[in-house]
Structure 1
Amino acid sequence: MRRNAILFAVIKVLMVFLGVLGVIGLVFLFWIIPQQVRTPEVAVPNLIGQSYQQAVLLITSSGLAVDPVLEKKPSPDFPEGQVIEQEPSANFKIKLNKPIRLTLSSGSELVAIPDVTGRLLSDADILLTDVGLRRGRVAAVYTDRYPEVHTVIAQTPRATTLHPYDGEVHLLLSLGVRPKLLRMPDLSLMSIDKARPLLESHGLQIGELVYKPHPEIDQGVIINHRPSVGELLRVGQVINFEVSGSQRKEEDKGGFLDIKHEVSSTGATHKRVRIVIEDERNKLIKVVDGRYKSGTLIEKPPVRVVGKATMRIYEDNRLVDTREYDW
């Protein structure tokens, strides 16, 4: 009898325990789960640009929570302490009490500004980009110190200064040497051979030579020229001449000139190179006119000339080589 009473008591306790579990299960099934399913959703507020304290206030007032994991990153666009990233993003709908993760700005990352003075603008852009900076405002002036056009004369801020990442560096460029104005001299009755070095010494060029027989003026002497006497000229301007005498015929002896020139490696990194040829036809043949990197070997197809010929090579409007040919 005693054993039966104990067994009955144990069974009674088990039944009570199972009953309690059943009630808990029913509550979870019919009340807690539906409450979770029916929890309303809210839109995540836009927190970008807010201070941490303002962001926390917006999050909690929306019924959401702040993720305890807080990240910081440098930013050139937001002051230190402002929100630059959020997860989930603004207007995304989530359940109440869900956490929002924030990333705050640690301020602008500072980089050392490279020295770009004396470099061409294209090279300066590369140096600035490599360290995370941008070209800002650009101005240009004439200068004798930096004769090559688009060379950087000065920069703001100065080199080695610490500057915010993605910031701007303002540049002052060279327009080259200020053009000098010359007054056209009277070259009439002067030999064209004597006039040539005189003009070249002032940076002027001989253009078209038109030969006309003259009963009183010797062969090769200047009769007239354009521009006329007294007109203002710029360095590099072309002067055309009317010269006494006659030309040799096209079928006279002649040959082909090889066009080859290595750009000098001294001075500017890039130079304007001009190669012109003049023969007894007195026609100026321009075979090269462009910008080339220092050390570049320029080769062009041979050019046919008649009789005596002269090849002149200029770098940045400066005569660097003269070659005479005769057949």
Structure 2
Amino acid sequence: MNQFIKVISANLFAIVIVLVILFTGVSLVLNNTTRHGESLTVPDITGLKMEDAEKLLASKNLKFMITDSLFFEDKPKNSVLDQNPSPQSKVKEGRIVYITLNSSKAPLVNIPNLIDVSLRQAQVMLQSVGLKVGRLIYKPDIAQNVVLEQLYGNQQTVPGTKIPKGSVIDLVLGDGLGQGDVSLPNLSGMTLEEARNLLQSAALNVGSVVYQGTIKDSTSAKVFKQTPAFADGVMVGSGQAIDLFLKQE
């Protein structure tokens, strides 16, 4: 009798163990099946370096693919410019996020032929291909504010030569044989970029740039002093360098 009870008890215990295992297995399967359809929130990776964006996407079980590469000088190199799906979108696990990246290298552009064009036209032509106007150098010539030479790295350039986008081209201009005096503009309250653009449009150069006080963001610092000082009717020679003093407001 005792032997029979022992056998029954052992069988009941085995049945209980099997039932527990089956219940646990079914629960896991159901849980995985339920979670498989859950959606994930796409994180915002715009502005991040590519290696940081990759780590963040991996932590969310998302994949990525770089579909385009552009170049913006004012954006960090090798950073994410755009993403698709957009941030906060709901997607399934394993979804591919398509990325537009800011290239680490500036693309090459052709130097345009600026000889015999006006200063204003040269500025437009350079800007249209992503190049910048550098120094304005004047020499005696009857053609006032007309480009006589174009320089890259202090060397005369050959039109059509490829150089990195964002490079600076210096212009040698005619002074009109002594008729090159221009009105000195008032630069007070302008940022460095605004002052530079106004000086170039007036056939003048930026000289020394001096920052005063604590500067947290140099792009927002404003001109509070210039040399020569502005006054109504003051004339200066074309190409003269104007020193700028800036501070943070």
TM-score by length of 2: 0.47
For the pair shown, the structure with the greater C-alpha radius of gyration is 1
Specify which structure has the higher proportion of helix.
Answer: 2
TM-score by length of 1: 0.38
